[in-house]
Amino acid sequence: MNILRLVVTGPVGAGKSTFIRSASDIEAVDTDCRVTNGTGRTKRKTTTALDFGRRKLTHNLLIHLYGTPGQARFEFMWDILIRKAHVYMLLVAAHRPEDFDHARRMLSFMQRRSPALIIIGITHMDKPEAQKPERVVRALGYNHNQSLPPIISVNADDPKSVNRAVMRSVKSYGRQLKASKASHLKQSGTPKVA
């Protein structure tokens, strides 16, 4: 059985725990605790260690979904989880521009530690105050001249939308794997016969 580890990260309230619950075909494990400081403006609970879910995609492909905490004080968990990721998805709530900077710092933390493929998942696009995806992507530090990672709009509350996001991650990972195998073969070249 092949296992693909998908790490879901992003600021508090972006939708990570809900995403994992929606994607998982077992009951997801969470480590939510009551919020004791002012971080969870609209939440009474927040993730302190990780979320875990599992999804069987085909007879030989299992997806392990790990959700990171959102708060920087649990940064040690970001570090542990990101190092194991095959793919990671940064969720950013489009209606909370005040969180974009934190999302950008999380992204840079992850990029420094992991060469894994990144997907940007923009949540809360259904909210009237949602910012345009281009604005979110720019706030994350990408500019026009750069090649952008895959960017998707996802509603963590909607299992169909979450399913599309999971499939997109699997496909992007498959393409990346193929490309890196092809480039490896090219570099090693065909053995020359003397």
Ligand X SMILES: Nc1nc2c(ncn2[C@@H]2O[C@H](COP(=O)(O)OP(=O)(O)O)[C@@H](O)[C@H]2O)c(=O)[nH]1
- Cβ at position 16, least distance to Mg ion in Å: 5
Question: Is 14 or 49 the residue whose CB approaches ligand X more closely?
Answer: 14
Ranges within 106-145 binding ligand X (CB under 6 A): 123-124, 126-127
Residues in contact with Mg ion, counted by CB under 5 A, come to a total of 3
**Is there binding between residue 22 and Mg ion (CB under 5 A)?**
no
Residues in contact with ligand X, counted by CB under 6 A, come to a total of 18
Question: Is 129 or 184 the residue whose CB approaches ligand X more closely?
Answer: 129
- Choosing from 5, 138, 157, 172, the residue that interacts with ligand X (CB under 6 A) is 157
Ranges within 47-86 binding Mg ion (CB under 5 A): 47
Per-residue contact string for residues 57-96; x = within reach of ligand X by CB under 6 A: -------------x--------------------------
Ranges within 2-61 binding ligand X (CB under 6 A): 10, 12-18, 46-47
CA distances from 113 to 59, 79, 85, 106 (A): 32, 7, 10, 11
Interface residues toward Mg ion, by CB under 5 A? 16-17, 47
